[in-house]
């Protein structure tokens, strides 16, 4: 079979690898230049910074943990230090593993050997008789496939399925699924690293604070890189309205209160995520009726946690294999 996978995040790449391993022709389309989706790493003033998910949560016994082990090349780091506070149920972090060069390393390795077309947003799926033809935003054809796995966040998956032969009820079911946004501020500061690698402060505007040097990444020019994610409420307010300076000021005030020391940022950067964690979750089986040639996966239709997102990608591949 020829299968297209839309999205090169955790779920899409799990599906793509599984289908390729089963001997099918797979093409992955990713709208960004980078791989990994919300497993996102940036290189800048502070060296390697995970400005999406802070680590991969790979509890033992999961398929995700097995894949991490298989693809590690001696560069896995268990973050040093403990956890302050508890992760929220919608973003668990029970057995964090990091890659010295950033969490995207895992996505890059999942993609080795796969045909990945980057920088192309799939905008339509047209009926082509026994097959499905993908199209981009300019109306260009992207190829003809027997099945399509859509791993984009639910609102984007709904936009795509709206321009496909799919039933409107399926689009409506996806449209009902919601995400929390996240605004993330990263700063470099000369400070003594705390004894934890991640903190989940209670009250205040910060949902999580991460010390990047605890992931086996040395301080750059003596400055420790701290990545702060605003709470869902604070992020929703700041997402389209607050300037980067305003976001950083709020985050730094809360960081000073948490560490109980003054913090002077030597550099700063802000990343805004419209879709971060799932607020209203759907059910994989309900969203994907048996026999459908367009299979939707991703965190909005998986139970909470990265292992379940990865499993959802494998389940999507299983649905496609069942068509064959």
Ligand X SMILES: Cc1cc2nc3c(=O)[nH]c(=O)nc-3n(C[C@H](O)[C@H](O)[C@H](O)COP(=O)(O)OP(=O)(O)OC[C@H]3O[C@@H](n4cnc5c(N)ncnc54)[C@H](O)[C@@H]3O)c2cc1C
202 or 260: whose CB is closer to ligand X?
Answer: 202
Smallest gap from Cβ 134 to ligand X, in A, equals: 9
Which residues between 256 and 285 bind ligand X (CB under 6 A)? 273, 276-277
Per residue, the 3-state secondary structure of the chain, as one string, reads: CEEEEECCCHHHHHHHHHHHHCCCEEEEEECCCCCCCCCCEEEECCEEEECCCCCEECCCCCHHHHHHHHHCCCCEECCCCEEECCCCCCCCCCCEEEECCCCHHHHHHHCCCCEEEECCCEEEEEEECCEEEEEECCCCEEEEECEEEECCCHHHHHHHHHCCCCCHHHHHHHHCCEEEEEEEEEEEECCCCCCEEEECCCCCCEEEEEEHHHHCCCCECCEEEEEEEECHHHHHHHCCCCCHHHHHHHHHHHHHHHHCCCCCEEEEEEEEEEEEEEEECCCHHHHCCCCCCEEECCHHHCCCCHHHHHHHHHHHHHHHHHHC
According to the binding rule CB under 6 A, does residue 185 interact with ligand X? no
Taking the C-alpha atoms of residue 125 and residue 164, their distance in angstroms, rounded to an integer, is: 5
46 or 298: whose CB is closer to ligand X?
Answer: 298
According to the binding rule CB under 6 A, does residue 9 interact with ligand X? yes
Smallest gap from Cβ 263 to ligand X, in A, equals: 20
For ligand X, the binding residue among 26, 158, 184, 238 (CB under 6 A) is 184
According to the binding rule CB under 6 A, does residue 104 interact with ligand X? no
286 or 324: whose CB is closer to ligand X?
Answer: 286
Taking the C-alpha atoms of residue 264 and residue 256, their distance in angstroms, rounded to an integer, is: 9
According to the binding rule CB under 6 A, does residue 181 interact with ligand X? no
Which residues between 205 and 234 bind ligand X (CB under 6 A)? 229
112 or 192: whose CB is closer to ligand X?
Answer: 112
According to the binding rule CB under 6 A, does residue 91 interact with ligand X? yes
Smallest gap from Cβ 36 to ligand X, in A, equals: 7
According to the binding rule CB under 6 A, does residue 8 interact with ligand X? yes
According to the binding rule CB under 6 A, does residue 37 interact with ligand X? yes
According to the binding rule CB under 6 A, does residue 160 interact with ligand X? yes
According to the binding rule CB under 6 A, does residue 49 interact with ligand X? no
According to the binding rule CB under 6 A, does residue 39 interact with ligand X? yes
Taking the C-alpha atoms of residue 95 and residue 173, their distance in angstroms, rounded to an integer, is: 32
165 or 222: whose CB is closer to ligand X?
Answer: 165
Q: Pairing between strand 141-145 and 131-136? A: antiparallel
For ligand X, the binding residue among 309, 314, 316, 317 (CB under 6 A) is 309
- Longest Cα–Cα distance of the chain, Å, equals 66
Smallest gap from Cβ 224 to ligand X, in A, equals: 19
According to the binding rule CB under 6 A, does residue 201 interact with ligand X? no
For ligand X, the binding residue among 299, 316, 319, 320 (CB under 6 A) is 299
Binding site for ligand X (CB under 6 A): 6-12, 29-32, 37-39, 52-54, 57, 87, 91-93, 121-122, 151-153, 156, 160, 182, 184, 229, 273, 276-277, 298-299, 305-306, 309
């Amino acid at each position: 079979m020829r299968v297209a996978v839309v999205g090169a995040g955790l779920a899409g790449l799990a599906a793509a690898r599984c289908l390729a391993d089963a001997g099918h022709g797979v093409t992955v389309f990713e709208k960004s230049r980078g791989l990994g989706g919300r497993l996102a790493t940036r290189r800048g003033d502070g060296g390697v910074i995970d400005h999406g998910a802070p680590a991969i949560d790979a509890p033992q016994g999961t398929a995700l943990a097995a894949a991490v082990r298989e693809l590690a090349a001696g560069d896995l780091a268990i973050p040093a230090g403990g956890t302050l506070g508890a992760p929220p149920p919608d973003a668990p972090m029970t057995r964090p593993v990091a890659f010295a060069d950033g969490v995207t390393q895992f996505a890059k390795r999942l993609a080795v050997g796969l045909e990945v077309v980057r920088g192309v947003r799939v905008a339509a799926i047209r009926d082509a008789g026994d097959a499905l033809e993908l199209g981009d935003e300019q109306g260009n054809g992207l190829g003809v496939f027997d099945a399509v796995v859509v791993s984009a966040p639910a609102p984007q998956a709904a936009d795509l399925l709206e321009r496909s032969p799919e039933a409107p009820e399926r689009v409506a079911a996806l449209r009902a699924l919601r995400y929390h946004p996240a605004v993330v501020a990263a700063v470099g500061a000369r400070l003594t690293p705390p004894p934890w690698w991640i903190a989940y402060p209670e009250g205040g505007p910060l949902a999580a604070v991460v010390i990047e040097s605890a992931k086996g990444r040395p301080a750059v020019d003596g400055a420790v890189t701290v990545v702060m994610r605003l709470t869902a409420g604070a992020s929703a307010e700041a997402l389209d309205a607050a300037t980067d300076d305003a976001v950083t000021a709020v985050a730094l005030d809360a960081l000073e209160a948490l560490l109980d020391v003054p913090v002077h940022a030597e550099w700063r950067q802000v990343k805004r995520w419209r879709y971060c964690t799932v607020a209203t979750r759907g059910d994989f089986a309900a969203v994907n009726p048996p026999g459908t040639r367009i299979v939707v996966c991703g965190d909005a239709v998986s139970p909470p946690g990265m292992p379940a997102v990865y499993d959802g990608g494998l389940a999507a591949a299983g649905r496609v294999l069942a068509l064959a």
